[in-house]
Amino acid sequence: MDYNKPTQIAASMIQAGVDKLMLASRDLLIRGVLSGAILGFGTTLALTATTQTGLAIVGAALFPACFIIIVLMGLELVTGSFAVLPMAYMDKKTDALSVLKNLLLVFIGNLLGGLLYAFLFCLSTTQFGHEEKNAVALLIVKLAETKTLTYASYGFDGLFSAFTKGVLCNWMVTTGIVLGMSSTSSTGKIVASWLPIFIFFGQGFEHAVVNMFLIPAGIILGANVSFADWWLFNQLPVTFGNFIGGILFTALPLYYSFHKKTKQTSDIEKRYPSSKRIQTEVKEEQFS
C-alpha cells in the first residue's frame, strides 16, 4: 500500500525531527539557503503566471511546485520545522535549546537564500538596471508595499492581522508536510503536498520565507518600504504566526491524537497482556 496511516505519519514526523536535529550546522545552513532561494523561484513563477493570465488562481496553482521540490530534495524550511521539531521535543527526544538552535540556523539559511535570489532576480529582470520594470517587477513592488505599509496603517490591528495570516498560512504549510509523509511514492507525495500549499497561496496568507524574498526584492526594485517596515510590520509578526500555527494546529493535535494515544495503548498492552488478546478476540468475533 502507498498510503501511510496517521499514526505512522505522526511517528515519521517525530523521527524526521530527530534526524533534523542530528544535522551539522553547515548542512542546516546550506539546505536552508537552497530552500529560501527555491521558494523565491516559485514566487516569481506564480507572479509571472498571474500577470500573463490575469488570474491569481493560476499562479497559486503553480506555486506549490517549489514546495514539492524542497520536500523531495529533503531541504530545510523553517516553517515546516515549526511542526516537526516540537513533536520531537514533546516526545522527549530532544531539549528546547537544541530545537531553538536548529530553528535559528535554518531561519538564517532561508533568509540568505531569499536575499540571494532577490538580488539575482532583480538584476536579471531589469537587465542590470538598463530596462524599466516589467509587469512582474511592478507587481512585486506593489505586494511589498501592501505586505508592510497596509499593516502599518492599521497599527496594532495591522500587526495582529499579519500574525493571524501567518498562523493560517503555516497551518496549511505544515499540513503539506504531513501529507507529504502520507505516501511512499514520489507521485503520491507531489499530489498530496500540492493541495494545502495551493490553498494557502491562493488566499494570500503570509509565509515568512516567501516574504524573505518578496519584500527585499520589492525594496530593491523601488518599493517605498524601509528595513524597519519589513521587519516590524511583516517579518516578525508573520514568523511568530507561522510558529504558532505549526505548533498549535499541526504538532499538538497530531501528537496527542495519534502518537500519544498509540503509546498509551502500547503501555496498557504491556501491563495487561490479556487486554490485547481480548481486543483481538472481539475483532475476530465482529468479522466472523
Q: Which of 82-96, 117-131, 143-157, 237-251 has the lowest mean pLDDT?
A: 117-131
Task: Write the pLDDT tens digit of every residue in 64-114.
Answer: 999 999 999 999 999 999 999 999 999 999 999 999 999 999 999 999 999
List phi, psi (to 5°) of 54.
Answer: 75, 10
Residues 155-164 have a mean pLDDT of 97
What pTM value is reported for the model? 0.89
Domain 6-287, CATH: 1.20.1080.10
**In the chain, where does DSSP find H-type helix?**
6-21, 25-53, 56-62, 64-73, 78-90, 96-125, 135-146, 149-153, 156-180, 186-202, 208-220, 227-230, 236-246, 252-254, 260-271, 273-287
Give strand pairing partners of 247.
Answer: none
Q: What is the pLDDT of residue 283?
A: 46
Please say if the pLDDT value at position 190 is more than 50.
yes
Q: What is the pLDDT of residue 278?
A: 41
Phi/psi-derived region of residue 21, left when phi > 0, alpha when psi is between -120 and 50, beta in every other case: alpha
Task: Write the pLDDT tens digit of every residue in 195-247.
Answer: 999 999 999 999 999 999 999 999 999 999 999 999 999 999 999 999 999 99
Query: Average pLDDT of the chain?
Result: 91
Task: Write the pLDDT tens digit of every residue in 26-78.
Answer: 999 999 999 999 999 999 999 999 999 999 999 999 999 999 999 999 999 99
Q: What is the pLDDT of residue 84?
A: 97
What residues does each domain of the chain span? 6-287
Phi/psi-derived region of residue 133, left when phi > 0, alpha when psi is between -120 and 50, beta in every other case: beta
Q: What is the pLDDT of residue 275?
A: 47
Please say if the pLDDT value at position 268 is more than 90.
no
Q: What is the pLDDT of residue 269?
A: 53
Q: Is 3 helix (H, G, I), strand (E, B) or coil?
A: strand
